[in-house]
Amino acid sequence: DAGITQSPRHKVTETGTPVTLRCHQTENHRYMYWYRQDPGHGLRLIHYSYGVKDTDKGEVSDGYSVSRSKTEDFLLTLESATSSQTSVYFCAIQRSGITGELFFGEGSRLTVL
């Protein structure tokens, strides 16, 4: 589907290296989110953004930072990747304003060796 893309879709890295995942939207929505998905845990919120340079922490934010310098891009950075951060990461945009649905990207699978 058009509207939101994530890159890279797959990445293998080593413990201690920095990693940045990119989420790009073409729909000009204000709210964007980063989730991680792990078996038995469902989807857990890492960080979210409610505008350019406006971000806040979610329930599992330790070890992650985010930046949003443009409406269309929301970056998730792992400063020093650990094996516990091996996961599938989903970005989402919130359509129709604050009461709208979440629309997810296709996900980025990260493996930290």
Partner 1 sequence: GENVEQHPSTLSVQEGDSAVIKCTYSDSASNYFPWYKQELGKRPQLIIDIRSNVGEKKDQRIAVTLNKTAKHFSLHITETQPEDSAVYFCAASIAGNQFYFGTGTSLTVIP
| Residues in contact with partner 1 by the rule CB under 8 A | 31, 33, 35, 40-45, 48, 50, 58-59, 90, 94, 97-107
Nearer to partner 1, 85 or 105 (CB): 105
- CB 49 within 8 Å of CB 68: yes
Nearer to partner 1, 79 or 106 (CB): 106
State the nearest-atom distance from the C-beta of 49 to partner 1, in Å: 10
Per the DSSP assignment, residues forming a β-bridge with 90 are: 35
Nearer to partner 1, 50 or 82 (CB): 50
State the nearest-atom distance from the C-beta of 110 to partner 1, in Å: 15
Across the chain, the runs of DSSP E, i.e. the strands, are 4-7, 10-13, 19-25, 32-38, 42-51, 54-57, 64-70, 73-78, 87-94, 102-104, 108-112
